[in-house]
Amino acid sequence: MGATSAVQSSQLCGALPPGASSQPVVAGGKLRPQPENAVLLVPQNHLSAERERERERKRKKKERGRARERKRECVCVTG
């Protein structure tokens, strides 16, 4: 299961050139020595996941800041 999901997720990211999905993947998600683009699969997926996490973190931080501003506005209006 893990091996196929690694290939599928890389296709979603657009990391695979067409026809590269047929390359065999070893059970641990590690790739057998194959053309260069196959070796890049795992790091690219990792990087995109890392970027996604960072984006999420920034978004939450912004929301917290907005909530704080709203509280200040409320205090000003009622005070």
The 10s digit of each residue's pLDDT in 15-49 is 445 555 444 554 555 555 555 555 555 555 556 77
pTM of the model: 0.32
Q: Which carries the bigger pLDDT value, residue 14 or residue 59? A: 59
Alpha-carbon distance of 70 to 55, in angstroms, equals 23
Q: Which carries the bigger pLDDT value, residue 6 or residue 55? A: 55
Residue 54 structural domain: 2-78
Predicted local distance difference test score (pLDDT) of residue 59 = 93
In this predicted structure, the answer to whether residue 6 has a pLDDT above a threshold of 50 is: no
Alpha-carbon distance of 46 to 69, in angstroms, equals 35
| Coil, strand or helix at 26 | coil
Instruction: Say if residues 23 and 40 touch (Cβ distance below 8 Å).
Output: no
For residue 41, give the nearest of 55, 23, 54 by alpha carbon: 23
Split into its structural domains, the chain has a count of 1
